[in-house]
Amino acid sequence: MTTFEDTGERRRRTDRMPVITELLDEATLGGIVEEAWLALVGDEEFLVPSLGGPVSDAVSSWVEVVGPWTGSVVLTCARPTAEELARCLLKEHAPPVLDAEDVEDALGELANVVGGNVKGILPGPSVLGLPQVGAAPGAGAPDDTCRLHLLWRGRALTISAQGSPGGVPSAT
Amino acid sequence: MRALVIDDSRAMRRIVSGILEGFGYETQQAGHGREGLDVLDGGWIPELVCVDWNMPVMDGLQFVSAVRANPAWRSVTIMMVTSESEHGQIVRALAAGAHEYVIKPFTADAIRDKLALLGLLPEGAAL
């Protein structure tokens, strides 16, 4: 008779999924965002911590991460800020007139770069989704959210790594 | 020299193409791996392909495998330019046949250094 020893390596249904605050702190997330900002937005573009608050006419871009931790990395700012970000991202490659697709594409790419680097520091293999733009996805429990409130050129933006409600990714 | 830039982000295609054109490359762009293969199938064979990983329709890893499966495209050098930063993913890309790997965010200097390593920095491009 063959017996199987339980090595404890398999995930049990009762295993608790880690929350993001056990895997990522604000300083690490801030470092990832700062590196992305300097490389993509401009090497003299700085982010300043702020107290946060509501953003009017907000637009969000995000990528989903599915793995040992499941959630989204979300960038939220006002639409005029998103337009300014897109122009900075494209620099001299920007067309004379930016259309909505240019702006959403640039905002999505920023979330993609930050999300990809967040994924890179999570334990174990994870899958990164394609960037999405629109109203921010729902967040999970407060302790499953690592959020930065920042100012760029005096304009508010928020970047968060937030668990999905129920620990599963939203429908895409 | 010719370069094909494959990325589902229009912004990133423009940025990477702009950097390469600054080095003297002639570039074409494609929005996903399948479109990239269509460019090669059409007879426009570049020295260099810069390809993202996560894309709709056909991702970068599938594109690399498809190019490597065709002996006619053996001369094409492939550099993955992606936000996938997991070590395991880098190993997978190189094992599939990519020559170099650049993690986003990158600078023009990082691209230039990789091209120099690959011997694909056109003559006259500033070092």
pLDDT at B72 > cutoff 70: yes
Token pair recorded at residue B109? 């200097």
Say yes or no to pLDDT of A171 above 70: no
With beta carbons less than 8 A apart as the criterion, state whether B6 and B30 touch: yes
Residues 6+ apart with CB under 8 A from A36: A110, A113, A114, A117, B104, B105
CA dihedral A107, A110, A115, A121 (to 10 degrees): -170
Q: What percent of chain B has pLDDT over 70?
A: 98
Give exposure, A103-132, as e/b (b: 16+ Cβ within 10 Å): bbbbbbbbbbbbbbbbbbebeeebebbebb
Q: How far is A34 from chain B (nearest CA, A)?
A: 10
Rounded Cα gap, residues A136 and A24, in angstroms: 20
SS3 A160: strand
Q: Is the pLDDT of residue B53 over 70?
A: yes
- Interchain contact, B8 vs A86, CB within 8 Å: no
Q: Which residues contact B88 (CB under 8 A, 6 or more apart)?
A: A125
Query: Domain-by-domain residue ranges, chain B?
Result: 2-118
CA A38, A40, A41, A43 torsion: positive or negative?
positive
% pLDDT > 70, chain A:
88
Higher pLDDT, A53 or B117: B117
Q: Over 60: is that where the pLDDT of B117 sits?
A: yes
ipTM for this model: 0.89
Round to the nearest angstrom and report the end-to-end CA distance of chain B: 17
pLDDT, tens digit (0-9, with 9 covering 90-100), for A118-138:
999 998 889 999 999 999 888
What's the CATH fold of domain B2-118?
Answer: Rossmann fold (3.40.50)
The pLDDT value given to residue A54: 78
* Residue A12: pLDDT over 90: no
Cross-chain residue pair B12–A109, CB shorter than 8 Å: yes
Q: Which fold has domain A20-166?
A: Chemotaxis protein chec (3.40.1550)
Angle of helix B10-22 versus helix A79-90 axis, rounded to 10: 20
Instruction: Decide if A106 contacts A85 (C-beta within 8 A).
Output: yes
Please give the backbone phi and psi of residue A92, each rounded to the nearest 5 degrees, phi first: -70, -10
Using CB atoms, which residue from A35, A106, A128 is nearest to B105? A35
pLDDT in tens, B21-46: 999 999 999 999 999 999 999 999 99
What pLDDT score was predicted for residue A17? 84
Binned at pLDDT 50, 70 and 90, residue A14 comes out as low
Domain residue ranges in chain A: 20-166
Does A106 sit within 8 Å of B14, measured CB to CB?
no
pTM as predicted = 0.89
Residue owning tokens 């594409």:
A105
